[in-house]
Chains A and B, each alone.
Chain A
Amino acid sequence: MVSAQIHIASKEILTALESVSDPEIPVLTVMDLGVVRRVEVVDGLVEVDLTPTYSGCPAMDTMAADITTALNKIGYEVKMKLVMSPAWTTDWISQEGRRKLEEYGVAAPMSEELDLQALMGGKRIVKCTHCQSVNTKMISQFGSTACKALFQCEDCLEPFDYFKCLK
């Protein structure tokens, strides 16, 4: 299995990357999302491999531009490459990222099996991010963005997003 963790030697570069957030889920940084796949410094030029979450995700172009700006600011030229393989999976979202998602009001992705039961089987297992009840139902398989499904809690009646498992 491909690991979500990548090694970044320079503390300075890592800090810069950690300052870049996903424009659609601003609490997550590109590092939390696991979309930065390789970072290497070659003669003052930083090579960055970026992988898309969903292939049509409009946030990717913004993230690429923001990463370039952040690294330019600390004096590096950037060579950005979009890599398709291995394909991104929600397993690459860091533990810290999952915690931040929940706090932000988006239920974090469950395992593939549970995800199927929730989205296709109508099982009430996705925890409401407002009141923690699992008495929730799916309203729509596609939410405000392609990566999320829309749920509603039947106890507190509030709607919330669920980040779908992508494997």
Chain B
Amino acid sequence: MKDQLYNYLLMLGDNSMILGHRLSELCGHGPALETDIALTNISLDLFGQVRGFFRYAAEVKGGEATEDSIAFLRYDREHYNCILVEQANVDFAHVIARQFFFDVFQELQLKQLVESKDEEIAAIAVKSLKETKYHLRFSSEWMKRLGDGTEESHERLQAAVDTLYPFTGEFFHETPLEKEMKENGIGVDLELIKTAFDETVSQIFVEATIKMPESKQRMVKGKYGIHSEQLGFILSDFQYMQRAYPNMEW
């Protein structure tokens, strides 16, 4: 049970960590100063969530594990994030679409985790949920502004949605680990989340004048540790300091 809980905590933290890193890449490159600051602030919140999950994971694992060793010293196959969050920034429309899909999912997931039988997970969820609501407001607003904006912003957002939407199916694929966590009252019911996710996404698509993509959901296995080539580049950047100078501190 201890191992399962540990792996589940990694799964919960990895989405926020990898997306947080993707957003941090935009520091100083946002399309406008305000959006630049907003995206890096969201990145910071995501890393805050990661610290909550990994601090607890280190406690569960015991021994030498720390939140830092968990964050910086795992290999790619030991990461359980969904493939969506590792997708490249490409342009602002991709950044917003990726963020929007994640925020909708994450808000629903955290709402359920607030009720988790595991008190520590519930506490982290209460805290993170407050922040995620702000993120979702931000990304939904931008979905509408870009989708219902100029011809170019509309086209770009539609293209981003067409590319990224097929990755969202992975959120709702229940792994054996998630099934076990659900049955123990620790994890979430992904089926319930999917219904609410579809509803919110279609509603925002309508307001943003974005068409629901016809393409099928991709078969992806990020939750099993099998990733796109993107993750390797992310990790080589993210882990560089700890790998090159082991145990260094800020």
Q: Is B51 a contact partner of A55 (Cβ separation < 8 A)? A: yes
Binary interface profile of A, 8-24, with partner B (CB < 8 Å = 1, else 0)? Answer: 00000000000000000
The count of A-to-B residue pairs whose CB atoms sit within 8 angstroms is 73
Does A85 count as interface, using CB distance less than 8 angstroms? yes
A144 to B37, CA, bound (A): 7
A55 to B127, CA, bound (A): 7
Binary interface profile of A, 71-114, with partner B (CB < 8 Å = 1, else 0)? Answer: 00000000000101111100000000000000000000000000
Q: Is B123 a contact partner of A87 (Cβ separation < 8 A)? A: yes
Q: Is A87 a contact partner of B126 (Cβ separation < 8 A)? A: yes
Interface of A is mostly: loop
Interface of B is mostly: helix
Closest to B120 in A: A84
A53 to B84, CA, bound (A): 29
Q: Is B37 a contact partner of A55 (Cβ separation < 8 A)? A: no
Q: Is A142 a contact partner of B48 (Cβ separation < 8 A)? A: no
A91 to B: closest C-beta gap in Å:
12
With contacts A54-B45, A146-B44 taken as known, whether A141 is within 8 angstroms of B134 at the C-beta atoms is yes
- Which of B34, B51, B138 has the largest number of chain A CB atoms within 10 A? B34
A54 to B41, CA, bound (A): 10
On chain B, which size bracket covers the interface? 20 to 34
Does B163 count as interface, using CB distance less than 8 angstroms? no
Contacting residues of chain A (40-93) with chain B, CB-CB under 8 angstroms: 52, 54-58, 82, 84-88
Q: Is B48 a contact partner of A55 (Cβ separation < 8 A)? A: yes
**Residues in A neighbouring B126, C-beta threshold 8 A:** 84-87
Closest to B127 in A: A87
The 8 Å CB contact of B127, one of A52, A145, A164, is A52
A161 to B: closest C-beta gap in Å:
12
A86 to B35, CA, bound (A): 31
**Chain A residues bordering chain B, tally (CB within 8 A):** 26
Does B119 count as interface, using CB distance less than 8 angstroms? yes
Binary interface profile of A, 120-159, with partner B (CB < 8 Å = 1, else 0)? Answer: 1000000000000000000111111110001000000000
Q: Is B34 a contact partner of A139 (Cβ separation < 8 A)? A: yes
Does B81 count as interface, using CB distance less than 8 angstroms? no
Contacting residues of chain B (50-77) with chain A, CB-CB under 8 angstroms: 51-52, 55
Does A167 count as interface, using CB distance less than 8 angstroms? yes
Binary interface profile of B, 112-125, with partner A (CB < 8 Å = 1, else 0)? Answer: 00000001101110
With contacts A55-B45, A56-B44, A57-B48 taken as known, whether A142 is within 8 angstroms of B38 at the C-beta atoms is yes
**Residues in A neighbouring B45, C-beta threshold 8 A:** 54-56, 146
Q: Is A142 a contact partner of B138 (Cβ separation < 8 A)? A: yes
Does B162 count as interface, using CB distance less than 8 angstroms? no
Binary interface profile of B, 12-52, with partner A (CB < 8 Å = 1, else 0)? Answer: 00000000000000000000001101100110111111011
B57 to A: closest C-beta gap in Å:
14
A102 to B: closest C-beta gap in Å:
22
The 8 Å CB contact of A164, one of B46, B55, B124, B134, is B134
Binary interface profile of B, 200-223, with partner A (CB < 8 Å = 1, else 0)? Answer: 000000000000000000000000
A10 to B124, CA, bound (A): 31
- Hey, which bits of chain B sit against chain A, CB under 8 A? 34-35, 37-38, 41-42, 44-49, 51-52, 55, 119-120, 122-124, 126-128, 130-131, 134, 137-138
Given pairs A55-B49, A146-B131, 13 additional interface contacts (CB within 8 A)? A54-B131, A55-B127, A56-B47, A57-B48, A82-B55, A84-B52, A87-B123, A87-B127, A119-B137, A141-B38, A142-B41, A142-B42, A143-B37
